[in-house]
Each structure stands twice: as C-alpha cells, then as structure tokens.
Structure 1
Amino acid sequence: MVFSWKPKRLRTWFCGVLALALVGMLSGGCGSSLTVSPTPTLTPIRLPVGYIPNIQFAPLYVAIEKGYHRDEGLEITLDYSMETDNVALVGANTLPFAIVSGEQVLLGRAQGLPVVYVMAWYRDYPVGVAAPSGLGLRTPADLRGRRIGIPGLYGASYIGLRALLSAGGVPEEAVHLESIGFNQVEALISGQVEAAVVYITNEPIQLQARGYAVDVLRVADYMALVSNGLITNERTLRESPDLVRRMIRATLRGLQDVVNDPAAAYAISEKYVENLNQADRAVQMEVLKTSIGLWQQNPWGYSDPQAWENMVRVLREMGLINQPLEVTQAYTNAYLPREQP
C-alpha cells in the first residue's frame, strides 16, 4: 500500500446564523390613505457547489439565466470555492443550502450536524475505475493485484473504489493504491498505473477523444449509492419549508430544460464557464450528455432509500461511521413538487 493515512473526517465547527429578511412598505397621503404594494424583495442565497465552473452545472446556469430562481423570489450566487466545510456551514444554519455528495450528509450527521438531503441531482454514482482495454478489466474481481491510481483516500473517489472492491470480494489490501492527484489521464497514458479511479463524465471521455480505448467499471452498475444533491438543515425545514420548496422547484426546472435541449443549455453555459466557447465542443457536449444520463429523472429529484442503506453499509465497512445512525433522518422526498412532468 502506498498510503499510510486515513480519510479525513468532516471537521465540525459552527458559524453565525444567516439572516434573511423581506422588506414591506406602506405610504399614506394627507387627508387620504393609500396602500402601496410592497416592492418584491429577493432572498439572497449563496449556493456552494464544491467545484470550479463546469458544464456539469448547466442546470444551475440555465435556471439562473432564465430567471427560474427569481420567479421563486430567490437571488442565487454560485460559490465555487473549494470549501471543505459546506456541510458544517449548512448544519450550523450559516448557509441554507449546498450541493454535496450523499456520503458527506451521513458523515455530517454522524458528527451531530442536522443536515438533510432534500433533492437528488444524480441518480447514479458518477465514479468508476478505468483501464486500457488491453488489461482485460471486466468485473470488480479483476481489480485484484492491480496498481490503481486515485486522487487520495478521501471523498467520492475513495468511497466509489471501496464499493467496487466490495462488490468484487476484493479487500483493499489486495490492490496497490498510488496517489496521483487528479491526473488520471496522464497517469494511464504514461503507464504509471494500470487503472485509475475516475469520474465517468470526465476522464474516460478525454481518453477516448485522444484515441485511447478504455474499459470502465461503473460503481452504479454494481451498487446504488447516493451522489450529489441539494442539502439544507432541520431548522430551515422546520421554519422555512416554503423556501426549500421554492429552491427545489427552480433547480428542477433548470434540470428539465437541460435534458430537453442540451444544445441550448451549452450555449447558456458559455456565459458562465470561462473559455467553454473555445473548448473542444464535441468533448464538452459529450460530458454534458453523459452527465444527463446520470441525473435523477422520473421522478425528478427523488432519493432512493436503498441507495442510502447501501451508502451507510459502505461507510461502516470503511470505519467512517461507527455509532448508530438513523438513515431515514438524513434525507426526505417530502419537499419535491407533487406534480411531476
């Protein structure tokens, strides 16, 4: 094993409470009274997404560009900082929402953070293991004894790998892990590693565009796990349930539009992602189309209870959760729109 350290636990710290206010106005004239309708006030929302501007966030760009959030009385600012404490910030009610992966919700709740997953963005866990086609990677059992590159022993990549190893009956000690950062493409092309943990919407597409045939083991083909979605906290659900419903409605409208017209969504995204208009359009469009194939549709935004149970089991096997945890409190489908398209 190359690694001797363990995955970092979510650091718990609490910040102040975000104050949201609506402003009313009443004016009167001498000798008469006149009620003036209040000027609509938008509720400002800073939404962390945990990554750099990217075509994968097209639903948010579309929803913002088309005014779907404003229709719901919300003013959205996307936060691209690589903030590791978004779960803690939402748990402390410093922020009302964030886009995070499902395992972070469970890790946060295991530490007492009252975060709740309210809208699934992805249906399928977007992680897999890629290898040159000549290696003969067909099933998770074929990973035994292989040199596998991975960004690190943390986050969705590591959890996805552990899920695949579990599905193949392969203990982690039976593979050779090598830290390669986020250089999976170069590491595979150069032969530094035999296989690499990848996001199936990214590196396999890049490799194929450069003429390298690869086989990919998708985590989702062997185990349903909870991936990225919208989270809030118990206080917001209790005190501002309508705010949660409005946020979900606007976001789902963006998702639906991208599914219905990827080309139009790509054009909108060019305004939000620097140099997207100069990138290889065929590659980036394939990234978008592959992402669409992973999103939760029918019904939109729905959380699969079995995926949550599977995620808890994987985290327990990894030793990241040791205490009792009521998984049904970590997510809810109750705030999704009743009328689905």
Structure 2
Amino acid sequence: MARTSTSKTRPARRTAAAALAVLALAVPAGCAGDAEAGTAQALRPVSIVLDWTPNTNHLGLYLALEKGWFRDAGLDVTIVEPGETSGLQLVAAGKADMVFSVAEALVPAREKGADVVAVAAVVRENTSSLLSLAADGITRPRDLEGKRYGGYGGALENALIDALVTCDGGDPAKLERVPMVSDDPRIDLGQDAYDTTWVFEAWDTIRMRDVDGMDVATLPFADYTDCIPSWYTPLLAVSSTKLASDRALLDCTLDVLTRGYQESMRDPQGAADALLAHVPELDRALVEPSAHYLAEHFAPTPEDWGVQDAATWDAFVAFLTEHDLASDDFDTDAAWTDELLG
C-alpha cells in the first residue's frame, strides 16, 4: 500500500476575530519584514505560474494584484502563463517560485523525482462533472451504457469513468470512448461528436447553461465520492528546496494569496471585476456567475481557504495505486503540507 497518513499537524485556524484583525492590516503578518525592506529598496521578485489561461480559479491572485496587496507586502509578482514546459517542471527546476497545478499532475511528477510539494488547496471541493445534453437522458452514471464519452484517453480519466459506471451497477464496457474533436465541448456536443464529456462546473457548465442557454445535465463528481475519490484541482505547489532556502518569500506570497481568496469569497463581484481589469478579453457574462459559484466552493468558510485534508490525499493516492497509476510506496505524506497556512 502507498505510505499515507491519517493526520498531519497544521497551524491552528484563525478565529473569526483574528481573521478580521489580519484583514485590517495593510500587510499580512508573514510579510512584515519584506514590506519594510521594500520601502527602502527594490521589491522582491516572485513568479507564479498558472495552470491554464487566466480564469476564475485565479480570482484570489488577480484580486490581490489589483488591490496592490503584493506590492504592499514588498513583492513584485510576475504571472507566467503555461507553455511547453509545465509549471511543475519550472518550479522543480528553480525557474519559478509557485505554481497552480492539480493533484493528478503532482503525484506522477513526484514519482519521476520532481521536487514539488502542494502547499494549499485552491478549490477545496472538486468541481469536475460529466456534462451532456439534457435530451440524451443521462441522469446517473449507469445511464452512460450505450453512450459515447468524449475524452483524451488518459489512464486516470478512464479509471474514474469505469469506477463511476460500475459503482452505479452499470457496465463500463458498454460505454464507447471517442476522442475529443475540439477543445470546446459546446462545439462537439452541438455536432453530435459524443454524448458526454468531462467539464468543470465553475466554467464550462455555467458557460453552456447560463451564458449560451443550452439545456444540459451534469453528473458532479462531488455527488459520487462513495464511488470515486475527491482530489485537489487546482492546488498551489512549491519546491521543497525553495521552501527550505527562502521560506519567508513563499510564506509572504501565500499570505497575500490567502487574503486574496478570502476576500474573493466575501466579495465575488469585486473579485470578478479585478480579474476582468487584468484580462479584459474574458466574458463578463461568464466571469461574474463563475466568481459567485466559486465563492461558495473555494472552501467551507473564508478562514478555511487553502487547508488540505489528509483523508482526501490518502483516498486519492489509494485510488491511483489501486489502478496502477502510482507506486505502492508513494509517500503521500511528503506530497503536501499546510505549514505555510496560518
């Protein structure tokens, strides 16, 4: 079995009063020294790599940027959009300081020797779902029998779909797997390229249902955690080498991001406005409802933002191990830490 932990020491969560006190400060407590230095000398550079093009998963980052909270903390932030080299590779190689990533990428990266560790859950609840046109009548996993699933053919993707269908008493062998025709399920479903595909509720479902007015149905993964595990997608990761050599920089950066995400939960409209100010090409009709949706899904409460759970990590890695997607001796406990939160 993979090496797992049932508990992990993490900082005590702030009380509501303490959280309000922190928000009242111009500079997060963990950044005080950097901010004081920043008034007399150049701001400290910090690079944050996105996992995708800018979207509402990044609300806390752009809100903090728009409010000037990074600069107040003595930080000069560079946002890097993903390229041919993955963000995890950049962080592991010391070419970036922090990265938005996903648990399903971090685990295999660590298996290959990458020096990366998760330090915060950006979205506590997995917002993945299977989306279909309502007319196709897919209301539960076993309804996928005889249907076509459009995907990328990934091993984890297939294992999760198989587990969902089997758990509901269906036969996954009766589900046809076909490749995605485009990266836009609106186009593919409209052209009857397949019957269902994997999307994210906070973006794809809102865009298709609320913006485009399509009559769609979804099977949210969060409704089937008795069949498949939850996992963190996205999360924030750093290198353990950087954590040891310049903890103050990472601590400060995450403090500001925490403030940004907490405020995004309290004021999703303000967060949407901040994202659109920096990325005006995004569709306001999509960004605003997405921001309001995520305000209720980033974490149970603003004070809980970022906290990871040992049981979630353990169950996810156990699923990977069961399906030969992670080695039996994978050290789950070493893959994540909450020590920068607090």
TM-score (norm 2): 0.79
Q: 1:221 aligns with which of 212, 220, 223?
A: 223
SS at match of 1:201: helix
* Shift, 1:186, TM fit: 1.7
1:272-321 deviation line (CA, Å, top 9, x unaligned): 11323xx3x33331122223232134312101212212221332344322
* Shift, 1:74, TM fit: 1.6
* Shift, 1:249, TM fit: 0.7
CA distance in structure 1 between the partners assigned to 2:169 and 2:246 by the alignment? 45
CA distance in structure 2 between the partners assigned to 1:324 and 1:116 by the alignment? 17
CA distance in structure 2 between the partners assigned to 1:165 and 1:311 by the alignment? 18
Correspondences of 1:114-153 after superposition (within 5 Å): 114-150=115-151, 152-153=152-153
* Shift, 1:259, TM fit: 1.4
CA distance in structure 2 between the partners assigned to 1:174 and 1:203 by the alignment? 26
Which residue does the alignment assign to 2:287?
284
CA distance in structure 2 between the partners assigned to 1:114 and 1:166 by the alignment? 36
SS at match of 1:202: helix
Which residue does the alignment assign to 1:51?
52
- Give unpaired runs (5+ residues) of structure 1: 1-21, 24-35
Which residue does the alignment assign to 2:317?
312
**Paired residue total:** 300
| Cα pair distance change 1:93/1:173, threshold 3 Å | farther
TM-score (norm 1): 0.79
| Cα pair distance change 1:38/1:54, threshold 3 Å | closer
* Shift, 1:119, TM fit: 0.9
Contact 2:269 2:291 in 1 (8 A): no
| Cα pair distance change 1:216/1:195, threshold 3 Å | same
Alignment-mate amino acid for residue 301 of structure 1: G
1:98-150 deviation line (CA, Å, top 9, x unaligned): 11011211111111222110011011122210112233322223223320112
CA distance in structure 2 between the partners assigned to 1:234 and 1:332 by the alignment? 10
Contact 2:38 2:74 in 1 (8 A): no
RMSD over equivalenced CA pairs, Å: 2.7
CA distance in structure 1 between the partners assigned to 2:64 and 2:84 by the alignment? 23
User: Which has the larger helix fraction?
Assistant: 2
Which residue does the alignment assign to 2:336?
331
Alignment-mate amino acid for residue 240 of structure 1: D
Which residue does the alignment assign to 1:302?
307
CA distance in structure 2 between the partners assigned to 1:321 and 1:198 by the alignment? 24
Overall identity of the aligned pairs, in %: 24
Contact 1:120 1:303 in 2 (8 A): yes
SS at match of 1:131: strand
Higher RCO structure, 1 or 2 (CA under 8 Å, sep 6+) = 2
